[in-house]
Structure formats: structure tokens, C-alpha cells
């Protein structure tokens, strides 16, 4: 491997583009290969909610770190709608976990407040608190346009010398003494390292390297419309 390795990232969704950005920032030569177009996978279909109202400490700290990065990107022009995020609790046990979450978030510098059921109307005037114990609200959370985010990240990657090749699917892999030759729907590409960021298709990409990846994609719908 050379001092500045050539890294190929497979997939131009949020994960592939974030990885590509981190790699160019660290001095790697980066090429992103995308079989379709930027954000054509799950990323372009996401609702784009960015929330830290979790109960597992690791999940919370992951969001604390991510929200710091989002703040930096916002200062560089990325849109982020800070409408807050409310998670509801139906049991006292959940409320106890929420109280712990609020403590962890506060210690990490994130605002978060516990609401009792009778206080929820302050946030959502039309809510029916029947059957609810309360909720956990993070005023700094919100949502963004994932398409815009991917375009923003792609631009940042390009500005720092990275290359993004769209409509270039990875089809096969040949191992070299050091690194790989990637067979694509265009010209073959020699590289030192490959990052598999192919989302739901990551197991198929792993298979090209003779690896098994235990990822089982789940179908998600944001809105379901029944047409009569
Ligand atoms: C309806 C819906 C709502 C969601 N809402 C939220 C939300 O509110 N908040 C949240 O955080 N998450 C949400 N998610 C989840 C989120 O969208 C995904 O976790 C995230 O987008 C995954 O990003 P990714 O980069 O791993 O995958 P993807 O965006 O799927 O990117 C993978 C890319 O790899 C490419 N690819 C695959 N195989 C190859 C190949 N052989 N060669 C080249 N390219 C290849 C694909 O074309 C694709 O563009 C939602 C998901 C859905 C479906």
C-alpha cells in the first residue's frame, strides 16, 4: 500500500459519502463507485429524521457525535430543520429509561426534557394523552432532506479531490499482490482498499470478495396510501 492509499467506496448513499469525506480529509485518494445515481438507494427514500432520544448509552453517544458533525455542516450550508423530536412512553419503566437518557444527553451537552402526560399538550396541542405516561423531547433534533445531504457530501468530497463515478456498478473483483482490480460496468479500477457501503446490497458486494455479510434488509414505508 502506498503512503496515500487509493480507497474505493462502493455506494453513494449517506454512509458511503460520509466515509468518503472522512477518508479524503485524512489524505486518502478516494473514488466512490455508485451503480445508479447519488442517493438512489435507501438514503434518497429516508424521512431524514435526526434524533437523539434513545435509551441505549452507545446509541445516544453516536447521535451526540453525529449532531456535532451536522452543526459543522450546517455552518457550511447544509439545511437542517430543528423542529425537535418527541418520543412517547406508555409505561413508567420507559419513563425511567427516558430520565436516564436525559441525564446522559445533558452531560454530553445536548438539550433534552422529560414531559409528563399532562404536559404533552404544551408541545402538541392536539395530542390525546390517554394511555401515555409522558415523553422525551429534544428541541435541537429535527429533520433534513437526505437528498440534499448526499449532494452536499458529494460536493465536499469532490472539493477535497475525491471522485464520484455514477452509473458505475461493481461487478467483480480480482485480487492483486497488494490490493484489488475492480471490474465495473465501465473501465476496471486498481485500488488498495475497498469500503463496502452498498446498504441493503452489501451482502452481494461482500460475496464478490468471497465474504459472507450477515445483513438482512427490511422493507420500510414512511407513508402508506391506499388508492380506491
Ligand atoms: C422509508 C424510509 C425512511 C427512513 N427514515 C429514516 C429517518 O428518518 N432517519 C434515519 O436516520 N434513517 C432513516 N431511514 C434509514 C436510512 O435511510 C438508511 O439507514 C440509510 O440511508 C442507509 O444509507 P446507506 O448509505 O447505507 O445505503 P443506501 O442509501 O441504500 O446506499 C447504498 C448505495 O449502494 C449502491 N450500490 C449497491 N450495490 C452496488 C454495486 N454493486 N456497485 C455500485 N453501487 C452499488 C446503491 O445503488 C445505493 O445507492 C429510512 C429508510 C427508509 C427506507
220 located within any domain: no
Cross-strand partners of 135:
88, 115
Specify if 135 maps to a domain.
yes
Same domain assignment for residues 39 and 151: yes
- How many domains, in total, are found in the chain? 2
Task: Give residue 210 CA to ligand 1 midpoint distance, Å.
Answer: 23
Distance CA(119)–CA(124), nearest Å, equals 9
| Three cell numbers written together for 130 | 390517554
Q: Could you tell me if 165 and 186 are in contact, meaning their C-beta atoms sit under 8 angstroms apart?
A: yes
User: To test the ligand 1 pocket, which listed residue (8, 9, 11) has its Cβ within 8 A of the most ligand atoms?
Assistant: 11
**Together in a domain, 53 and 138:** yes
Q: Hey, which of 17, 69, 199, 213 would you mutate to test ligand 1's pocket, going by the most ligand atoms within 8 Å of its Cβ? A: 199
Does residue 227 fall inside a structural domain? no
Q: Is the CB of 199 under 6 A from ligand 1?
A: yes
Its domain, for residue 84, covers: 49-143
pLDDT in tens, the chain (228 residues): 557 899 999 999 999 999 999 999 999 999 999 999 999 999 999 999 999 999 999 999 999 999 999 999 999 999 999 999 999 999 999 999 999 999 999 999 999 999 999 999 999 999 999 999 999 999 999 999 999 999 999 999 999 999 999 999 999 999 999 899 999 999 999 999 999 999 999 999 999 999 999 999 888 887 888 888
Ligand 1 proximity of 16 Cβ (cutoff 6 Å): yes
Q: Looking at the structure, do residues 60 and 134 belong to the same domain, yes or no?
A: yes
Determine the residue of 42, 52, 67, 85 to mutate for testing ligand 1's pocket, defined as the one with the most ligand atoms within 8 A of the Cβ atom: 42
Instruction: Please indicate, yes or no, whether residues 186 and 139 belong to a single structural domain of this protein.
Output: no
> How long a stretch of residues is the chain?
228
Q: What integer pLDDT is reported at residue 22 of this predicted model?
A: 97
The strands making up 163-165's β-sheet, listed across from edge to edge, are 163-165, 29-33, 6-10, 193-196
What's the CA-to-centroid distance between 3 and ligand 1, angstroms? 31
pTM: 0.92
CATH code for the domain in which residue 185 is found: 3.50.50.60
Boundary (domain end) residue, out of 93, 121, 143: 143
Say yes or no: 138 and 153 in one domain.
no
Amino acid at each position: 500500500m502506498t503512503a496515500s492509499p487509493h480507497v474505493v467506496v462502493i455506494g453513494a448513499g449517506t454512509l458511503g459519502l460520509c466515509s468518503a469525506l472522512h477518508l479524503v480529509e485524512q489524505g486518502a485518494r478516494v473514488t466512490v463507485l455508485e451503480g445508479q445515481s447519488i442517493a438512489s438507494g435507501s438514503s434518497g427514500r429516508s424521512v431524514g429524521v435526526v434524533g437523539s432520544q434513545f435509551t441505549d448509552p452507545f446509541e445516544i453517544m453516536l447521535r451526540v457525535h453525529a449532531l456535532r458533525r451536522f452543526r459543522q455542516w450546517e455552518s457550511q450550508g447544509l439545511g437542517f430543520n430543528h423542529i425537535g423530536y418527541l418520543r412517547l412512553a406508555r409505561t413508567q419503566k420507559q419513563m425511567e429509561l427516558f430520565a436516564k437518557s436525559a441525564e446522559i444527553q445533558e452531560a454530553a451537552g445536548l438539550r433534552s426534557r422529560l414531559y409528563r402526560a399532562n404536559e404533552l399538550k404544551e408541545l402538541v396541542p392536539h395530542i390525546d394523552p390517554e394511555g401515555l405516561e409522558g415523553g422525551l423531547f429534544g428541541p435541537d433534533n429535527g429533520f433534513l432532506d437526505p437528498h440534499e445531504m448526499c449532494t452536499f457530501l458529494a460536493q465536499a468530497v469532490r472539493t477535497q479531490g475525491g471522485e464520484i463515478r455514477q452509473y458505475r456498478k461493481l461487478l467483480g473483483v480480482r485480487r492483486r499482490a497488494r490490493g484489488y482490480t475492480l471490474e465495473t460496468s465501465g473501465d476496471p479500477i486498481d485500488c488498495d482498499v475497498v469500503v463496502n457501503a452498498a446498504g441493503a446490497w452489501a451482502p452481494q458486494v461482500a460475496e464478490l470478495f468471497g465474504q459472507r455479510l450477515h445483513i438482512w434488509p427490511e422493507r420500510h414505508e414512511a407513508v402508506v396510501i391506499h388508492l380506491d
